[in-house]
Amino acid sequence: MDASTPLFDVSLPLYQQQMNKDLVMNVYIDGKWGSYRHLPLDSCATVTVPHAWVNIMTPGDLSSIKWLEGNIDPERFVSVFLSNSGYSFAHLSDW
């Protein structure tokens, strides 16, 4: 919750107006009301490549995360340790 936001009190207009909307969940951040949503994504085609990595194309914007194909050829670089990963995660504070 915003540090500048008053403690919850149903008599305050800030909260009364939002409660009158009869929404399941309300999130108040940076002076704006919103919510958290779970939106299933369309399935993606699976592509197998010898080397790939993850990058956030716009720093601080997790919606810009992309898997990128690398240029390491495991046949040429036998001393390089490559791991197999089907999933990856990133925390915004890490970027």
- pLDDT tier for residue 84 given thresholds of 50, 70 and 90: low
* 60 backbone φψ class: left, alpha, beta (φ>0; ψ -120 to 50): left
- pLDDT tier for residue 24 given thresholds of 50, 70 and 90: confident
What is residue 11's predicted lDDT score, i.e. its pLDDT?
92
Q: How many CA atoms lie within 13 A of 57 on its CB side?
A: 6
Q: What's the token pair of residue 33? A: 């009301």
What is residue 90's predicted lDDT score, i.e. its pLDDT?
61
